[in-house]
Amino acid sequence: MNENELKRIEQESAALLSLLREVRDEDNATLRVAPCPRPSKRRSLRISPYWLVAASVLGFMLGMAVPRDTGIAAREYTTLLADTSHTLGRSLAAGDVNFALLVK
Amino acid sequence: MRRLTADTLPSLPDAELMLRVGQGEHTAYEVLYERHAQRLGGFFLRMLAYDTAKAEDMVQELFIRVWTHRSSYHPSQPFTTWLYAMAYNLCKNDYRHQEVRQGYAAECSLREEPIATTDEALERSELRQLLRQAVQTLPEAQRDAFLLHYDEELSVPEVARIVGCPEGTVKSRLATALQTIRRQMKMCL
């Protein structure tokens, strides 16, 4: 759009633009504007992206620290432990365990 | 920044007042409100299909935003552009939530007009009403540019920055809008 073309249309529409300003002033005058709003002094609770990253890292570290699910029910642990101890005991008695390897 | 009394603040330009608002000076904020609220109310009124209650609420909403986003204002940017960009975005959000322009014709006919006493005054009053309708029936993009430029007296580059399109597009929208309104009002003017 050419700058001069818009200027020409505006000049031709002078009466219209004058009426438009009249309408604007009339509209503005009819409006009752409320008193100035008093914004709250309380700080808004904004979550910074840094906090999000820190929380994710902490969550990951905690996740790694907690024992993982082995798929073995708690009551089965005792049986498993007894079996292992029994096997180990027998192996020790039979002299099957190479203590040199265990120490390494 | 030197603290001024309430009497001297109204003489300061918008940008300086806004810098003071940025530092939490509430008196400067009130001066800005006094200076711009009425005019922005009129802008909201025309942008929101003459819904007076909504326009009044929007002025409050806008100035609460001015306060909460006061740190985002930079003095290199004209204050009015920053303010109108925020006002324009508020209107856009409102359009997304509901079709405010629907049923404007019915609303317009119900709108109370001051009683004209003479034939000339009556004619003028009707003309104003016709012009309001003509502006409201413009396509949204044209109407937004038209109101920002001719009613709010913002320059073409400012309008372009606010609506987010090239200056040439704004000029073209303005020219088309003017021609459309002129065609509609041809019989009356």
Residues of A within an 8 Å Cβ radius of B: 1, 3, 5-6, 9-10, 12-13, 15-17, 19-24, 26-28, 30-34, 36-37, 39, 44
Give the pLDDT mean for A61-65.
Answer: 83
Q: pTM for the whole thing?
A: 0.69
Q: How much is the average pLDDT of A81-88?
A: 76
What pLDDT score does B1 carry? Answer: 58
- Over 70: is that where the pLDDT of B75 sits? yes
Say yes or no for a CB contact (<8 Å) between A26 and B128.
yes
**Is residue B160's pLDDT more than 60?**
yes
Q: Point out the residue among A6, A26, A33 whose CB comes nearest to the CB of B59.
A: A33
Containing A44, the helix (H) or strand (E) segment is: none
CB atoms within 10 A of CB A85: 10
> What pLDDT is recorded for position B155?
94
Contact B159, A1 (CB under 8 A): no
What does the DSSP assignment read for chain B? Answer: -----TTTGGGS-HHHHHHHHHTT-HHHHHHHHHHHHHHHHHHHHHHTTT-HHHHHHHHHHHHHHHHHTGGG--TTS-HHHHHHHHHHHHHHHHHHH--TTTTHHHHHHHS--PPP-SHHHHHHHHHHHHHHHHHHTS-HHHHHHHIIIIIS---HHHHHHHHTS-HHHHHHHHHHHHHHHHHHHTTT-
Predicted confidence (pLDDT) per residue in A23-45, tens digit: 999 999 888 888 888 876 655 56
Q: Quote the mean pLDDT of chain B.
A: 85
Q: Does the beta-carbon distance from A13 to B182 stay under 8 Å?
A: yes
Q: Does residue B134 or residue A93 have the better pLDDT? A: B134
ipTM of the complex: 0.79
Q: Name the CATH topology of B8-99.
A: Rna Polymerase Sigma Factor; Chain: A (1.10.1740)
CATH number of the domain at B112-189, please? 1.10.10.10
Determine the residue among A6, A10, A26, A36 to mutate to test chain B binding: the one whose Cβ has the most chain B Cβ atoms within 10 Å.
A36
Of A9, A15, A36, the CB nearest to B179: A9
pLDDT class of A100 with cuts at 50, 70, 90: low
Q: DSSP characters for B134-187?
A: HHHTS-HHHHHHHIIIIIS---HHHHHHHHTS-HHHHHHHHHHHHHHHHHHHTT
| Residue B71 or B124, more confident | B71
| B8-99 and B112-189 have identical folds | no
What pLDDT, on a 0 to 100 scale, did the predictor assign at position B118?
59
pLDDT at residue B121 in the model: 66
- Give me the pLDDT at residue B102, please: 57
Q: Where are the domains of chain B?
A: 8-99, 112-189
Question: What is the reported pLDDT for B115?
Answer: 45
